[in-house]
Structure formats: structure tokens, C-alpha cells
């Protein structure tokens, strides 16, 4: 759901044009940043099952990044950080904080839609949820593509960017969608879970940095 999370970030930026869209994209992908970092640190795990070549679905143990209780905590932390960082917006910073928190929590909601029942409600041993839409991959990818298109349709009209920057952001988003489709349908298994974690974290950070850089223009409203 890499591209889908990015699509949500684009859509939410429509509600607060004074905040760089990279902030909302990063918020929408925050739980994955935490996941891959924690996998590298050995605090959470990802396993490549025997049927990975057919399903392209790893198995996760990730209560600290993708548990419901953890997602609420990360959302609150991100919202509080945004509230402190955007003091220059005065009363509007409450809306910014709420939007950033919503972007973070939307990640858990979308993952609960597509994952098998593996998202814990709290910590280890707690009940796990997941509607498993990835079991019907064509439908899942169609839903993700729809989220991306919806996000672009909300973000692009009225954004204070040059035509070139708007086009570049749209291309970046569609490239991410393309890689998501390939990754969920035909990509070869990664050499190891650690390699998967490192490459995934690098990809997420790169996309967030590119989105933020493309949207950082002097002409943006402050």
C-alpha cells in the first residue's frame, strides 16, 4: 500500500496548502518508516514464507509500529510535533496537527484493509485483525490506484506550484504506484528480510524527500 499511503497524503494537503505536501506524505508513510527501522534494529520481524514468490506477501510481527494502540500513539506524537512546529500559523496549527495525525492513522486503516489478520490491537499476544484484500490482488491494486488518482485529483488543482513541479510530483506518484504493482505481482524475492528492510526504508525516505523538495517553492503561501 506504498502508493496508497502517498495518495492519502496528497489528498490531505488540499485542506492546508501552507504545509509542504512532503509533510503529509511522510506522515502517511511514518508507520512503515518505523517498521523497517525496527526490523533493522531487531525489535520487529519480517519473514519471507515459502509461498512468497506466488503471493508476494511477507509475514510480519510488528506490534510497535502497526499495532492499533501503537498507531494511535504514533499519530498523537506526529500531531503534537506538527502543532509545535507550525506555531507561526497561530490557531490554524490545530488543524495542521489534526491533519498530520489523521495521515498517520490512515496508514493503519489502509493496512487493516489489505493485510491478512496480522495487525495486533495492542502488543504481543493480543487479537489481530486484517481484512485480507491482498488475497484478491487485482481488486486490492485497483483500490490502491483509485486512492492515488483521488489524491492527485484533490492535490493538483489549486496547488501553488509551477506546472513543471506539479507534473514531477504526479510522475513521482505514478512511478511509486508502478513499483507497487510490480512489487506485489512479479518482483523476485529479496535476498533476505534485512535487505528488504534496508531497501524499503531507503525507498520510503527517498520518496518523502523528493516530494518535499518538489513542493518547496518560494511562491508557496506562508
Q: What radius of gyration, in Å, describes the C-alpha atoms of the chain? A: 17
Q: Are 202 and 2 in contact (CB under 8 A)?
A: no
> What is the tally of structural domains in the chain?
1
Residue 129, H or E segment: strand 128-129
Q: How far, rounded to the nearest angstrom, does the alpha carbon of residue 81 sit from its chain's CA centroid?
A: 18
Residue 80 lies in a domain: yes
Q: Is residue 219 part of a domain?
A: no
Residue 220, in any domain of the structure: no
Calculate the alpha carbon distances from 63 to 68, 121, 133, 201 in Å: 8, 8, 20, 18
CA distance 98 to 108: 16
| The pLDDT of residue 217 | 56
Q: Note the pLDDT of residue 216.
A: 82
Per-residue cell: 24: 503529509
Residue owning grid cell 506526529: 78
Residue 197 falls inside a structural domain: yes
Q: Which domain holds residue 160?
A: 2-214
pLDDT of 56: 87
Q: Which residues contact 173 (CB under 8 A, 6 or more apart)?
A: 3, 6, 7, 10, 148, 151, 152
**DSSP assignment of 184-215, as one string?**
HHTPPPPS-HHHHHHHHHHHHHHHHHHHHHHT
Is residue 71 one of the residues assigned to a domain?
A: yes
| Phi, psi (degrees; rounded to nearest 5) at 61 | -125, 100
Report if pTM > 0.85.
yes
pLDDT value of residue 186: 85
- Residue 79 within any structural domain of the chain: yes
Residue 186 backbone zone (phi > 0: left; psi -120 to 50: alpha; other: beta): alpha
The answer to whether residue 14 sits within a structural domain is: yes
The answer as to whether 222 is a domain residue is: no
Averaged pLDDT, groups of 10, the chain, 222 residues long: 94 93 97 97 93 88 96 98 92 94 97 95 92 94 96 91 91 95 88 93 96 73 39
Phi, psi of 59 (to 5 degrees): -110, 135
Amino acid at each position: 500500500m506504498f502508493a496508497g499511503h502517498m495518495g492519502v497524503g496528497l489528498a490531505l494537503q488540499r485542506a492546508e496548502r501552507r504545509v509542504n505536501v512532503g509533510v503529509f506524505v511522510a506522515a502517511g508513510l511514518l508507520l512503515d518508516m518505523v517498521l523497517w527501522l525496527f526490523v533493522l534494529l531487531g525489535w520487529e520481524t519480517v519473514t519471507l514464507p515459502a509461498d512468497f514468490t506466488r503471493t508476494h506477501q511477507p509475514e510480519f510481527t510488528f506490534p510497535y509500529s502497526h499495532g492499533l494502540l501503537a498507531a494511535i500513539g504514533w499519530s498523537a506524537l506526529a500531531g503534537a510535533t506538527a502543532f509545535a512546529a507550525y506555531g507561526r500559523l497561530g490557531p490554524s496549527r490545530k488543524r495542521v496537527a489534526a491533519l498530520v495525525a489523521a495521515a498517520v492513522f490512515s496508514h493503519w486503516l489502509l493496512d487493516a484493509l489489505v493485510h491478512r489478520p496480522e495487525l495486533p490491537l495492542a502488543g504481543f499476544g493480543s487479537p489481530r485483525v486484517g481484512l485480507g484484500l491482498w488475497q484478491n490482488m487485482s481488486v486490492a491494486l485497483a483500490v490502491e490506484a483509485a486512492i492515488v488518482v483521488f489524491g492527485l485529483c484533490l492535490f493538483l488543482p489549486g496547488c501553488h506550484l509551477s506546472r513543471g513541479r506539479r507534473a514531477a510530483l504526479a510522475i513521482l506518484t505514478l512511478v511509486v504506484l508502478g513499483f507497487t504493482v510490480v512489487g506485489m505481482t512479479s518482483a523476485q524475492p529479496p535476498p533476505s528480510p534485512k535487505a528488504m528492510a534496508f531497501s524499503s526504508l531507503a525507498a520510503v525516505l527517498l520518496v518523502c524527500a523528493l516530494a518535499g523538495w518538489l513542493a518547496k517553492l518560494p511562491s508557496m503561501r506562508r
